[in-house]
Chain A
Amino acid sequence: MFLLAGCGSGNAPAPVTTGAAPANATTPENKAPEGAPTNAPAAGKDVELLNVSYDPTRELWKDLNAAYAPVYAKETGGTINIKQSHGGSGPQARAIIDGLEADVATLALWPDTNQLHKKGLIKEGWENALPNRSLPYTSTIVFVVRKGNPKGIKDWPDLVKPDVQIITPNPKTSGNGKMSLLAGWGSVILNGGTEDQAKAYITQLYKQVPILDTGARGATTTFAQKGQGDVHLTWESEAHLEVEEAKGELEIVIPPQSILAEPHIAVVDSNVDRKGTRAAAESYLKFLYTPEGQDIIAKHYYRPTSPEALAKHADRFPQIKIFTITDISKSWDEAQAKFFADGGLFDQIYNK
């Protein structure tokens, strides 16, 4: 701990000259978790963290950051300044890999966070570094339609009715986009359909998508503010925000069945160790699991993972049949390769 602080202020380049050095430097810190929550943030009194997240979580993190600042001040006596960066989940992961110095990555999907691990920025076993498989909340994909639901959209098969225009972001770049596609796929496969039928359904669905934005919020703007399309496939949280902002012009439709989204959170090990911000970053992410953090999460219509918080806010989250990625694919890696890789299913159906 002392050693790290010394490096930070004195000869800063020392710990980053080789790949091995930061690993050595961090071991004492990791081995002393009992000292971490209290001692460590105090070492660097005023801390700045960068939270690189996906597109629609802007309002959530603004609230969480505001709520966490006094907690940090009380714990350490210092101030914390948390900066936010938002965009399509894929490009955001890419930006971190390209050198965007995120202390924490709060991306939409497992493969995006795991990409950071593959590039050596996040350690092995990151998924279990925080409680509940590093999931403070989950979400799902729902529909938003125009007032009165003029096209009568209730369930996934309704989307491919003729003259329905669908807005959803690009599955190549957006977590929302990937989830929309997988949810549509699952709605066929898990109701007795074959792969060919699922493919035909998805092909038709994307024929009816006039614009593919790179991120969830871009698609929301296209649907809600620019008035394009009849139905918007989006995150549950985003749907509520969008409908609230539209003041009666839009309605939510919860389909009877949809997919479970797991936006994992992670401390970006290589960055926090170089910047000396590990303790603050960890304490920040742990705050999400506190009752206060879980309440804020529920308030923004993300489904909290603590059973107490979920029970407390049950009225906000209608029960629907939720399936997971493993119900339609062996693993995320396999789904990524099959659906979204270059030349994968999406490329095959969308370029036709």
Chain B
Amino acid sequence: MHPSSMRIKKSVGAMVATEPFWLRALLIGAAYLIIGALILVPIVYVFVQAFAEGWTGYINNLVRDKDTLHSIWLTLSVAPLAVLFNTVLGIAAAWCLTRFKFPGRTLLVTLLDVPFAISPVVVGLMFLMLFGMQGFFGPTLQQWGVKIVFAWPGLVLATTFVTLPFVARELIPLMESLGDEEEVAAVSLGANPWQLFWRITLPNIKWGLVYGMIQCNARAIGEFGAVYVISGHIAGETDTMPLRVEKLFQEYNNPGSFAVASLLTLMALGTLLGKYVLELWIARQIASHQSDVEGT
């Protein structure tokens, strides 16, 4: 999706130049003002609050509080697990939906978007209803000694569900546009399914995949609603970073709360940077690919 949008950027730029200067200045100025007021000011405010007690206070708020430290660790393990599951699921779903024609295929594509459509709170409740002690599987799971809700598996499950569409949504249009000629050729030359995937499909989709994973990760780190319902609010056990931010704020620990919030913000900015670098990289790949094509 994004490579094509980048390709048309050039022509759009050419059109803008026909507008009078004052109009351009006005519109661009307004854009900066709005983005500054809506995005930059709150972000700066988070950091100002976080550093209210200076550098040492900031570090202490993050590492001296063992519940906060645990929340950081928990988020840094729950989010990658969710990304991992969704990468596997996303590739499988995209493969299945773009390489095979079967009845109900369109319905399946629509169903993939369900996690985006449902409120995260409902997702949390849904899992609580399924795996809680009042729910369908809860009593059996307890007999087996398996904890899902109010424990980290529930957090992973809820986060995975909420971020399910990211990778698949990125891959489906990409794989559709790529077509299956190369794969058919590989199979006709005797490639087995593993060779087919590792040597043909994966190299073709890798940037789309990484892009999807980055988006999935950003959303997984920030997830609040679903995990709020399913966490049980146990400090030092099931509080992820977003939950910890709320808890510290409610416990009058503003610097602590904003310290965790600033760390979340940094993670988000890091993700954005990763996405930006990736987009540049893809644009360059496309450019060099095009010049290759023109050269031959």
Contacts and interface: CB of A to CB of B under 8 A. Distances in A.
Interface of A: 12-13, 16-17, 50, 52, 58-59, 83-87, 95, 97-101, 217-218, 220-221, 225, 241, 245
B236 to A, nearest CB: 6
Contacts of B165: none
Given A58-B251, A83-B236, 9 more contacts: A12-B145, A52-B232, A83-B235, A98-B128, A98-B149, A99-B132, A99-B149, A217-B251, A241-B252
A50 B236 CA distance: 11
> Which of A12, A85, A245 lies at the interface centre, i.e. has the most chain B CB atoms within 10 A of its CB?
A85
> Which of B135, B232, B249 lies at the interface centre, i.e. has the most chain A CB atoms within 10 A of its CB?
B232
27 contacts: A13-B145, A16-B142, A52-B232, A58-B251, A84-B235, A85-B232, A85-B233, A85-B234, A86-B233, A87-B233, A95-B232, A97-B133, A97-B134, A98-B128, A98-B138, A99-B134, A99-B142, A99-B149, A99-B150, A100-B150, A101-B147, A217-B250, A217-B251, A218-B250, A220-B250, A221-B249, A241-B252
B143 interface: yes
B237 interface: yes
Contacts of B55: none
A13 B233 contact: no
Interface of B: 128, 131-135, 138, 142-145, 147, 149-150, 232-237, 249-252
Contacts of A220: 250
A100 B149 CA distance: 8
Nearest to A81: B236
Contacts of A85: 232-235
B249 A99 contact: no
A83 B234 contact: yes
A146 B224 CA distance: 32
B134 A13 contact: no
Shortest Cβ-Cβ A-B pairs, 4 listed: A98-B132, A99-B133, A100-B232, A100-B150
Contacts of A225: 249
A85 B131 CA distance: 20
A97 B135 CA distance: 10
B23 to A, nearest CB: 40
A58 B233 CA distance: 12
B269 to A, nearest CB: 26
B124 to A, nearest CB: 11
A59 B131 CA distance: 31
Given A16-B143, A83-B234, A83-B237, A95 B252 contact: no
Nearest to A241: B252
A241 B144 CA distance: 44
Given A95-B232, A98-B134, A13 B150 contact: no
Contacts of A12: 145
A101 B284 CA distance: 54
Contact of B251 (A50, A52, A59, A95): A59
A225 B147 CA distance: 37
B202 to A, nearest CB: 41
Given A98-B132, A218-B250, A13 B144 contact: yes
Contacts of B249: 221, 225
Contacts of B144: 13
Contact of B133 (A84, A86, A98, A218): A98
A89 to B, nearest CB: 13
Contacts of B145: 12-13
Nearest to B128: A98
A241 B142 CA distance: 39
Contacts of B251: 58-59, 217
A241 B250 CA distance: 12
A98 B151 CA distance: 12
